[in-house]
A = this chain, B = another copy of it.
């Protein structure tokens, strides 16, 4: 037992030499920044979203601006496809819709040689490497030559929040979607992901589907799930705030958990699974502080 714990610790330290940045990343849990946390109230429950200004600053700025205006209050989820996405936005081509400026694609970023993340898997189906950075699932293409830079992007795991768009790359405005099914990773790099659900994903899953199966009655738009209220957590009165901490994916504890998941030792696994991990099949933990 002692050996095994020592061994796991060793793996975690080794991983961290190459993959974890140094500052304050030893802690297993991380507080959310209320200024980049959204409280979404649905008729059937509350949902908390962590925004990612470090990856998609323009989209986060646009979205926060709209949230603060109350833009989304009363808007409905008007394109909800089981196993795919739950999408909301103002009525297409309405004055409200057209009032919002377009925002340019933020599909990936360049990574200098010093960039680091917690690697989950090499040779993923869609990327050279996958892993986590700041609790977001990322894909990574290392630099091909010493003098060049690498490339990283957020990946479409269940629970991510992304901006919808028209056919043109830089045509996002206010319509957004949550991924509610098997990761549609073919959208990676051509849509801007800018947040993720950290609490209440079951309420996102329960949003009324709008696309029925062929032959079934059409779902009346009056049955579409509305957004009761969307607000920045920092603007919610203190006593009504919901304070969440999330798993710090840059910590040695997380790297250890990944390795345990890869090499399962529980006797339930009477045949061991292949030691591969789908980055979208690793649930990240959250905990309620208040």
B-side contacts of A271, CB under 8 Å: 189-190
B-side contacts of A167, CB under 8 Å: 267-268, 270
Q: Which of A126, A188, A213, A280 has the most CB of B within 10 A?
A: A213
B182 and A288 within 8 A (CB): no
| A285, CB-defined interface residue at 8 Å | yes
B158 and A288 within 8 A (CB): no
Interface residue from B83, B169, B190, B264 paired with A283 (Cβ < 8 Å): B83
B158 and A181 within 8 A (CB): yes
Which of these binds chain B: A30-38, A52-60, A197-205, A233-241? A197-205
Chain B minimum-CB-distance residue to A246: B213
Interface residue from B82, B278, B289 paired with A185 (Cβ < 8 Å): B278
A158 and B186 within 8 A (CB): no
Chain A residues 147 to 201 lying within 8 A of chain B, measured CB to CB, are: 157-159, 167-169, 180-190, 199, 201
B190 and A83 within 8 A (CB): no
| A100, CB-defined interface residue at 8 Å | no
| A27, CB-defined interface residue at 8 Å | no
Per-residue B-contact encoding for A237-280, CB less than 8 Å = 1, 0 else: 00000001000000000000000000010011111011010101
Interface residue from B84, B182, B274 paired with A278 (Cβ < 8 Å): B182
B190 and A270 within 8 A (CB): yes
B278 and A183 within 8 A (CB): yes
Interface residue from B124, B214, B278 paired with A287 (Cβ < 8 Å): B214
| A110, CB-defined interface residue at 8 Å | no
B270 and A169 within 8 A (CB): yes
Min C-beta distance of A209 to chain B, whole Å: 5
Interface residue from B185, B216, B269, B287 paired with A215 (Cβ < 8 Å): B287
Which 10 A-B residue pairs are closest in the complex by CB-CB distance?
Answer: A215-B288, A214-B287, A186-B273, A206-B206, A182-B281, A215-B287, A205-B205, A202-B209, A216-B288, A182-B280
Supply 24 A–B pairs (Cβ within 8 Å), ascending by A: A124-B125, A125-B125, A125-B276, A125-B278, A126-B276, A157-B182, A167-B267, A167-B270, A169-B270, A180-B205, A181-B281, A182-B182, A184-B281, A185-B278, A185-B281, A186-B273, A187-B273, A188-B273, A190-B270, A190-B271, A205-B206, A206-B206, A214-B285, A216-B288
